Amino acid sequence: MTIKEILVPDIGDFSDVEIIEILVAPGDTIAVDDALITLESDKASMEVPSSDAGVVKEIKVALGDKVSEGSLVILLEVEGAAVDPAPAAATQPVAPTVEAAPVAAATAATTPAATSAASDLRQVSFERTHASPAVRRIAREKGIDLNTLQGTGRKGRITREDLSNAGQRVLKAFVESSKGGQPVGSGTTAPTTSGIPAIPEQDFSKFGEIEFQPLSKIKRLTGINLSRAWLNVPHVTHQDETDITEVEAFRKSLKAETEKQGVRVTLLSFFMKACAAALKTYPTFNSSLDGSGENLILKKYINIGIAVDTPNGLVVPVIRDVDKKSIFELSAELMEMSVKARDKKLKPADMQGATFTISSLGGIGGTAFTPIVNAPEVAILGLTRSQMKPVWNGSEFVPRLMQPMSLSYDHRVIDGAQAAHFVRTLGILMNDVRRLLL
């Protein structure tokens, strides 16, 4: 047998990415591409797969560690010629970077401290506990330290029921805890550095049963980024709709052809092409303000970010050089990026470099909304569900498929007339996609 080092593969330009989950244990038999650990950056979470099959000999990382490309993850025993054993120093377990915080300490502080403690609990090492990967994942999500629990399952294994009982104790301690020993919601507010009055805390348990569930890192950081954009960018949203009857008929006519290629063409691909053409016509929408706020940086490339909803939060993979790709190419890339986003396979590089963003809720519903500009971009297009409407053609009302469009923009860079022209141009292009060839 051979001992092989399994390293972190290429994860793009990012380094020092935090480990939020260890998915294997010493003695586990794994196959090629089985997930070993889960990493979480400020934009996405991703699983690190094994490059080889074998038996896990030793885990060389701990929860909360930060790794980069080339970092050692595990020692794997694989089939092959015998080799000299690894040096003794290499067999020493790596100490966790953060000590395990007792549940009582994590839940006996004010709300800001409780939030910090919940974050620390996600970094606690559960290596000495006897629990399945699913139970470990739930414990981290709910801020429960498995090291403090006594399992009731076979051979002391910690079960979901044990987590449920512990979760109720954590919740009760959290609700009853506060600064100075007063109930949460007694009039204290979380500190804020923005100068904006904080929303007073309340003891919601007085009104019924509640559950404490920490946000994922992606949602926490997305909230920070969106709040920053909302506070710094003077937002205006322009609403309009366009007739997509003909383009939808054309899209459906491609069904047989696209099935042969294994591609599903959606209206989003057509909107991406139309946006690329409109961005060329109105390059201000494809720009960013410099740090001084006095100059525009006009970009000569068109990369469009597509907001994708995943169980862990919103991520925005980027489709590059949209103006240079066909509808089929865009559709195939959209499918690939969506799958990678939902399977936690996106790399940081997949979410960088967008010049414009589209957020589509068409598959869910709605008539309009106000998307938040993804700064440092200066505009974002929101799409909701299209619907049949009676439209006057000059002599009679005829049924037409109408698509709502919501364009939010940075009013420091774009004025209302420019926004109206941009959206109108999009409408004209989507009325008749043959114009994309002109």
Fold observed for domain 232-437: Chloramphenicol Acetyltransferase (3.30.559)
CATH 4.10.320.10 residue ranges of the chain are 103-188+201-214
Identify the pLDDT of residue 172. 54
Of 251, 273, 355, 270, give the one whose Cα is nearest residue 322: 273
| The pLDDT of residue 99 | 35
Hey, what are 229's tokens? 């954009």
Distance CA 42, CA 2 (A): 37
Three-class secondary structure assignment of the chain: CEEEEEECCCCCCCCCEEEEEECCCCCCEECCCCEEEEEECCCCEEEEECCCCEEEEEECCCCCCEECCCCEEEEEEECCCCCCCCCHHHHCCCCCCCCCCCHHHHHCCCHHHHHHHHHHHCCCCCCCCCECHHHHHHHHHHCCCHHHCCCCCHHHCECHHHHHHHHHHHHHHHHHCCHHHCCCCCCCCCCCCCCCCCCCCCCHHHCCCCCCCCCCHHHHHHHHHHHHHHHHCCEEEEEEEEECHHHHHHHHHCHHHHHHHCCCCCHHHHHHHHHHHHHHHCHHHHEEECCCCCCEEECCCCCEEECEEECCEEECCEECCHHHCCHHHHHHHHHHHHHHHHCCCCCHHHHCCCCEEEEECCCCCCCCCCCCCCCCCCEEEEECCCEEEEEECCCCEEEEEEEEEEEEEECCCCCHHHHHHHHHHHHHHHHCHHHHHC
| Residue 286 buriedness (CB in 10 A; 0-12 / 13-18 / 19+) | buried
Please list, residue by residue across 57-81, b when 16 or more beta carbons sit within 10 angstroms of its beta carbon and e when fewer do. bbbbbbbbbebeeebbbbbbbeeee
**Residue 42 pLDDT:** 64
What is the model's pLDDT at position 432? 92
Q: Which part of the chain is CATH 2.40.50.100?
A: 2-91
2-44 pLDDT tens trace:
899 999 988 776 678 888 889 899 998 998 888 899 887 766 6
pLDDT at 273 (0 to 100): 97
**pLDDT for res 291:** 87
Calpha distance 175→353 (Å, rounded): 43
Assigned CATH for 103-188+201-214:
4.10.320.10
CATH topology of domain 2-91: OB fold (Dihydrolipoamide Acetyltransferase, E2P) (2.40.50)
pLDDT digits (tens, 9 = 90+) for 382-428: 999 999 999 999 999 999 999 999 999 999 999 999 999 999 999 99
CATH 3.30.559.10 domain residues, the chain: 232-437
pLDDT along the chain (438 residues), means of 10: 88 79 89 86 76 91 89 88 42 35 34 43 49 66 71 70 65 50 43 65 90 82 86 95 96 89 92 97 96 93 92 88 95 92 86 95 90 96 96 94 97 97 97 87
| 268/13 Cα distance (integer angstroms) | 28
Q: Are 121 and 101 in contact (CB under 8 A)?
A: yes
Catalytic residues: 411
